[in-house]
Amino acid sequence: MVGFGYDSHKLVDGKPLLLGGIRIESDKGALAHSDGDVVLHSLCDSMLGASGLGDIGELFPDDDIQYKGADSSIFVSEILKMLHERSLIVNNVDITILLEKPKLKSYKESIRNNISKLIKIPVERINIKAKTNEGMGFIGKMEGIACYCICEIQKKASD
């Protein structure tokens, strides 16, 4: 089964920027209830989409005080647990990050490795792409960041 996820956050001065659980050196960071990690949020929604389990906002509401400043890797782990309880495993993940600057080239491998650890699949099954928006729109003007994620999940082979 295939699932799709999308997330975006406003970028503001003086906030940390976290992508895939990795801290990015940037003047601006995401304004959010949780840590605002668009990569992990879109990953969560793609996993929920593929398994027919709803969306991240239903599971971890942004008006719930317990998720204020939350480390988004907690959301990924909780969702992975839900999948495993249903004998589902993630086959592969493909992520596209939209950010005007900084360039993410030097961070891609760390993001990939961290996601591999979080969802417990080999790094070869995770792909990270980063794009600017050629100066256009809210991404281009550095008003925000967005991320798309697609993943495939499958039933664990019975042993």
Residue ranges in contact with Mg ion by CB under 5 A: 7, 41
- Cβ distance 102 to 10 under 8 Å? no
Of 55 and 109, which has the nearer Cβ to Mg ion?
55
- CB 125, min distance to Mg ion, A: 23
CB-nearest residue to Mg ion: 41
108-119 vs 73-85: helix axis angle to the nearest 10?
40
Of 70 and 153, which has the nearer Cβ to Mg ion?
70
Of 8 and 51, which has the nearer Cβ to Mg ion?
8
- CB 87, min distance to Mg ion, A: 28
List alpha helices for 9-72, DSSP H: 38-51, 56-59
- CB 157, min distance to Mg ion, A: 33
For 3, counting Cβ atoms within 10 Å of its Cβ (0-12 exposed, 13-18 middle, 19+ buried), the class is buried
